Structure 1
Amino acid sequence: MKRVLVVGAGIHGLVTAAREHIAKNQVFIVEKRKRIGGRGTSEESFGHQLEHGPHLLLKGGELHKMVKKLSKVKPSLRPLRPNKILVVGHGILYPVNNPKEMLNLKMGRDQVRENALRLISGWGQDIPERRKALLKGRLCVVGEGWAGLIGRLASTLEEVGVPIQTGMKITESYEGGVVTSKGLKIEADEVRMCDGAPVGDAIKVATLDVVLDNR
């Protein structure tokens, strides 16, 4: 059994901690903010739920599988219907009842709709697998919000004895542990940096959805 310190209690950090626990390691999480979740948070405004950070969850993707595995309650997902999304000034994103417009879209001749597809599926990037997922209804809005998913992950970790310490900023790392801003040394066999800082291998992030691959 290894002592693993996870730095960052966002989606990446919580899932990393869950994986390490499943691997029978002793895990401890530290977060510099006073709240957990990182960019994956939600808030209500004038009766509407607003999401910060990632917005759409890929059904059947890695994060979805992890949440289903850890949580006793199935997450509520509402798939986006491309034939219900209106592109302002141009019409329905996926014009299923108009063969000519469908042909233009498939041939890449309809730049307005193509830009809308890229924006929704890949935040402006051309990510073919996510574009395909959107058109097949596999990109979903999380019914409980991202704060709900974060809560599921955090409560599951606490139930199995993985502590999460907030308000603890790491200022230095060394072989065998880290040092906090208050001078406290935390020893660990391995340190996983999941705080969003450009350290080590890049975390794969598919914009509106999060694809976690820390291997």
Structure 2
Amino acid sequence: MNEKSKKSHSRYRKSPNDFAKTVIVFVVTAIIIIVGAIIAVNKPACNLVHKLEADMPIGIRDIEIDQSQNTLTPIDSESLAFGSHIANITCEKRGIEVPAYYGSNRVSFRYGAGVLNDEKPPFSAGKNTFITGYDETYFMSLKYVQKGDKFVITTSDKTINYKVIDTFIGENNDSAAEKYNDNLILKSIFSDFGENSAKRLYVICEKTSEEVNAK
């Protein structure tokens, strides 16, 4: 190969830098296309999610909670709405101090614990009141609770004292809880990892006294 041919051949040979530039251009182009596609479908997707959520039962809907609520909402109030701050839960021995919101859904769990809603107001005589929270957040210390520990529930008009009489790990809506009546039942939701994956810790509390709060 003569000198002229060598120069001509080297002119068309791609260097490593040329290959790198080609790859970068390809990657950037792909990113632009993907981001554009995401932006194009994002709004319709969000609208669809909001529409589906609006059709859900309000008890599981991802409602917003007003954390600036300075006073507890009366439990027997006709205006009692999901997300209302209705009680505070305290177990001094285990360092538990948790706000309880009306409605057992993920938003209540995000800001505290959720009180199961049904046909009777919470903490009514002759029925169990279920309060649920996440094991990794507000109910983190619930696993250390033992029989005999004391809980205090403070509502807008009364203070209720409870004593723990039983604890067990079971399934959600476990039939073992059905034998109890007129009790406070605290439920801790375990994470999706570990030996108790997707199970519940039940803490059964019996009322020992009740006091009317001073106005």
TM tier, shorter chain? under 0.3
Q: What TM-score comes out, normalization by structure 2 length?
A: 0.21
Which structure carries more relative contact order (alpha carbon 8 Å, separation 6+)?
Answer: 1
Q: What TM-score comes out, normalization by structure 1 length?
A: 0.21
Structure with the greater alpha carbon radius of gyration: 2
